[in-house]
Amino acid sequence: MALITLRKNDQIMMSLVHYFVTKENYTPINVQGVKDEIWLENLEGPYRVIRISCNTIINEEQYKFEMFKMHHILRQIKKKTLSFKVNALNICLDISGKVALNKEYNIESIKVESIKDVKKNDELISIFPGLKDSLIEAKDNLDLIVNVTNDINEKTEKENKRFAKVFSPKKIIITNLIIVICCVVFALMYIFGNGSTDLNTLITFGANLDTLVRQGEVWRLITCAFLHIGIIHLFVNMYSLFIIGSQVETFMGKWKFLAVYLISALSGSLLSIVMHANVVSAGASGALFGLMGALLYFGYHYRLYLNDVLRRQIIPVILINLFIGFSISGIDNAAHIGGLIGGYLVAMALGIEGKSNKKDMINGWIVLLLYIIFLSIVIFVK
């Protein structure tokens, strides 16, 4: 029977990787150009990045070069994840005792020669209490490999199922329903009124107007999101809703999507009244910006899966549309900004599948309610 022989450092590395992946929700990341080291990432963890290295370091020059490489890779991770700060834990498994491990900016290095060294490190145990009892210590190498492989595969399978649940194609219902409602209302304005560009018709069908809202017709804050002024306005917004709404409904589910749409419409309408007096406004663009705000929140939490989508697509689309709103007269950019803020906050309050915790959701509800209450006070209390 063939024997499997592992170096002592490899055994320690496997045990540490097993713990951080299965117990602390860290994910291995592919770092090009490295050898004998593993990089782990958890953007919600106490250390956002953990590097476990078997590289032999026998003097200060080698250690400084290792730190230089690590700083370079961390800069790449910060750029990819849109992070201002990424703190890292550098675990060195093969370093000379003559080398001083100085704590550098955002990087804490520790020396580990055995599993006992890990369990005796009080600072590390205080951050990861499970290290004391959850590290695998197999009697033979085959047993270690089998246990580590099986546990990591099981964790990976769960992650893949969660990923599939969030990103798998779904039947789009609410988005299509809103599009139909907007088109039907648009037609009704011509059947029972003087068309979509007539102010009296717009007001009759529920356009937003500060004086009427202050008189008690608060329903206009929502109904205006289903009205459009002219065929081009309708077409542009419905096409945008079809593209963006389908994504948000897929990622968040139909009822969360509906909540984002309606609350974003409300938020956009409120800020529009705060910023504009005696102006009739209508359109789904405030709610659409709310969907982009929700997509921004979602994309931030799933940015490791979406690669550069957040940085190269979502954020540029938002900024370009805001720029257009400021550059062209007749566009209610206050509604856009209000919808964007409302959509981001309601996504935070409702939570993202597999990513949000109760604390974030509670904070989201608190900030969202305070935001809406503040705008309401500005409008209704004089």
Active site residues: 285, 336
Question: ∠ CA 305-14-67 to the nearest 5 degrees?
Answer: 70
Per residue in 320-345, is it b (16+ CB within 10 Å) or e — as a string? ebbeebeeeeebbbbbbbbbbbbbbb
Which helix (H) or strand (E) segment holds residue 38: the answer is strand 37-41
Would you say 298 and 366 are in contact if contact means Cβ atoms under 8 Å apart?
Answer: no
Q: What is the largest CA-CA distance in the chain?
A: 89
Rounded to whole angstroms, the Cα distance separating 68 from 273 reads 53
- DSSP letter at 208 equals B
Which helix (H) or strand (E) segment holds residue 40: the answer is strand 37-41
Strand partners, 57: 95
Ordered alpha helix ranges (H), 207-332? 210-214, 220-223, 231-240, 246-252, 254-275, 285-301, 303-306, 309, 315-327
